[in-house]
Amino acid sequence: MRSSNPVFASIERSQAYTASGEVATYRGIIFKTGLLFAIAILSGYLALSYFPLELLFPMIIGSAIIALISVIIASRSLRLAPVFSILYAVTEGLILVLITVLFDAMAPGVALAAVIATAAIFTVMLFLYSSRTIRVTPRFRRIMYASLLGIMLFIVIGFFLSLLGIQIGFSEPVIILISSVFIIFGALMLTMDFDRAEMIVSGEFDKGYEWMVAVGLMVTIIWIYFELLRLFFILANNRR
């Protein structure tokens, strides 16, 4: 049983499943996920309000590095998960809010559309999972894991080619297709995350795992949101 979300994959490899005190609950997972998003939004708002514009872009680079380190630690250490989940939310919030503001300034309305679409995808996938319309089987997990490796390889190759000064130019329809595929993958990845959360609650894991589940869900939801934001931005520019 493997998850395509690296946070949940890390939970699967952990040996500390047995709860030492309070056990994980759905209510705890929902609360912590909401708390992390609230922290992210507040962090981004405060950064835009109190930091000079010329400092925001260098802060994005630093925030991206800290966010990556934080999510790795939060997904691997039950003891450190609360602290680094919050640190991830703070740093990711700066990136999230700034990119949202920039995209919405260039194409008004795309941010709201992306938020609504993300919420709709989350709701639909939760219904499909809870009704067992979509079943997370071992074969499904293998396909998702292989797809994740393919996507990561695609991103890494593109990054290294750009460092070498080689720019791969995709036509707009191809970019739209790639973005749509990433959105569909993110939506399917949510079912893997729901399955992981169900396993943790039904298995009576330690309550600390709620932080791991919350940050894992946040990673997936932000992935979907950014891809939707990019897609809506491209479509909005096409209409002009």
Backbone angles phi and psi of 71, in degrees to 5: -70, -30
User: If pLDDT is split at 50, 70 and 90, which confidence band does 4 have?
Assistant: very low
Whether 153 is covered by a domain: the verdict is yes
What are 73-107's pLDDT values in tens digits? Answer: 998 888 899 999 999 999 999 999 889 988 999 99
Identify the weakest region by mean pLDDT among 11-25, 147-161, 199-213: 11-25
Per-residue confidence (pLDDT) for residue 20, from 0 to 100 = 55
| Whether pLDDT at 56 is above 70 | yes
Whether 1 is covered by a domain: the verdict is no
Residues sharing a CB contact under 8 Å with residue 81, sequence separation 6 or more, in sequence order: 73, 74, 75, 208, 209, 211, 212, 215
Domain that holds residue 140: 6-238
**What's the average model confidence in pLDDT over 123-133?**
93
The residue among 54 and 122 whose pLDDT is bigger is: 122
Rounded to the nearest 10 degrees, the angle between the axes of helix 6-13 and helix 172-202 is: 30
User: If pLDDT is split at 50, 70 and 90, which confidence band does 53 have?
Assistant: confident
Compute the distance between CA of residue 30 and CA of residue 27 in angstroms, rounded to an integer. 5
Instruction: Label residue 70 exposed, middle or buried (CB < 10 Å: 0-12, 13-18, 19+).
Output: buried
Per-residue confidence (pLDDT) for residue 69, from 0 to 100 = 93
Per-residue confidence (pLDDT) for residue 169, from 0 to 100 = 63
What are 152-202's pLDDT values in tens digits? Answer: 887 778 767 776 767 666 677 888 888 899 999 999 999 999 998 999 999
Per-residue confidence (pLDDT) for residue 1, from 0 to 100 = 40
Question: What is the reported pTM?
Answer: 0.84
Whether 218 is covered by a domain: the verdict is yes
Whether 71 is covered by a domain: the verdict is yes
Whether 179 is covered by a domain: the verdict is yes
Per-residue confidence (pLDDT) for residue 2, from 0 to 100 = 45
Mean pLDDT, the chain, rounded, equals 85
β-partners of residue 18 are 205
Whether 182 is covered by a domain: the verdict is yes
Per-residue confidence (pLDDT) for residue 213, from 0 to 100 = 92
Compute the distance between CA of residue 91 and CA of residue 44 in angstroms, rounded to an integer. 8
The structural domain count of the chain equals 1
Task: Report yes or no: 192 and 3 within 8 Å, Cβ to Cβ.
Answer: yes
Whether 150 is covered by a domain: the verdict is yes
User: If pLDDT is split at 50, 70 and 90, which confidence band does 15 have?
Assistant: very low
